[in-house]
Amino acid sequence: MPASWGVLSDTTGTEILLQKNKNARDNFTEEICKRLENTCIESTDANRVIRSRDTEKTSHFVDPPYIGTHLGYYSGYNEMHFTELLDTLKSVKGKFMLTMFPHEILKKAIQANGWYQLEISRKISTAKNKRRDQVELIVTNYPILT
C-alpha cells in the first residue's frame, strides 16, 4: 500500500485510517492546485522576476528576508540587497504588497515614495517561555483598506 498521512500498524482499522488520510491529502492537493491555477511561482532573483512580470494588472507579493534578523538559509542577504529591492518596487507599474519588520531604510522609502503602511503588532514567544511584542509592517503602493 502506498505511503500516506497515516501511521501504519497491524491494528484493525489501519486500512480505513490510511484511506481517510489519503482522501484528505488528495482533496488538499486538488484544492491547492485550483487556487494556484493562474499563479506563477519562480525561484530566482526577486528583482528579475518583478521586472520581467510587471504589468499594470500585476500584483506582486514580496516577502524578502527580514533585515536585522537571523537570516538562516538566506545568509548573505543584506541592506544593499534590500535597497535594490525597494528601488525595483518604486518603479513597478502594477501593485505590490511588501512585508517586513520596521527598518530605517524602509521608513525612508515609504516617505520618499508615498507608499502606504499597515502596522501589525502581536505577542511572540521567545526563549524560556517569555513573550514580547513584535511589530511587522505591510507596505503597499496602493491604499490599504482596514
Tens of pLDDT, residues 20-39: 667 677 777 778 888 888 88
Rounded Cα gap, residues 79 and 68, in angstroms: 9
Residue 140 burial (C-beta neighbours within 10 Å; 0-12, 13-18, 19+): middle
pLDDT (mean) for 104-133 = 87
pLDDT band at 131 (very low <50, low <70, confident <90, very high): confident
Q: In the chain, what percentage of residues exceed pLDDT 70? A: 78
Report field, pTM of the whole predicted structure over 0.85? no
The answer to whether residues 95 and 58 touch, using CB atoms and an 8 Å cutoff, is: yes
Q: Are residues 82 and 103 in the same domain?
A: yes
Q: Are residues 62 and 111 in the same domain?
A: yes
- Phi and psi, residue 23, nearest 5°: -60, -45
Concatenate the DSSP letters of all residues of 20-58 into one string: HHHHHHHHHHHHHHHHTTT-----S-HHHHHHHH--TT-
- Find, among 39, 143, 44, 140, the residue nearest to 92 by Cα: 140
Q: Are residues 103 and 119 in the same domain?
A: yes
C-beta contacts of 11-20 below 8 A and 24+ residues apart = none
Counting Cα atoms < 13 Å in the Cβ hemisphere of 81 gives 13
Question: Would residue 103 be called left, alpha or beta, if left means φ above 0 and alpha means ψ between -120 and 50 degrees?
Answer: beta
3-class state of residue 131 by DSSP: strand
Q: Are residues 34 and 62 in the same domain?
A: no
Q: Are residues 119 and 81 in the same domain?
A: yes
Q: Are residues 108 and 50 in the same domain?
A: yes
59-62, strands of its sheet edge to edge: 59-62, 95-100, 131-140, 116-125
User: Bigger pLDDT: 65 or 84?
Assistant: 84
Range of the domain at 24: 1-39
pLDDT (mean) for 29-58 = 86
User: Bigger pLDDT: 31 or 15?
Assistant: 31
Q: Are residues 53 and 106 in the same domain?
A: yes
Q: Are residues 52 and 8 in the same domain?
A: no
What is the tens place of the pLDDT at every residue in 132-146? Answer: 788 899 999 999 887
How many distinct structural domains can be found in the chain? 2
Query: In the predicted model, is pLDDT for residue 90 greater than 70?
Result: yes
**Inside any domain, residue 146:** no
CATH (domain of 103): 3.40.50.150
Q: Are residues 23 and 80 in the same domain?
A: no
**Inside any domain, residue 135:** yes
Q: Are residues 50 and 122 in the same domain?
A: yes
**Inside any domain, residue 104:** yes
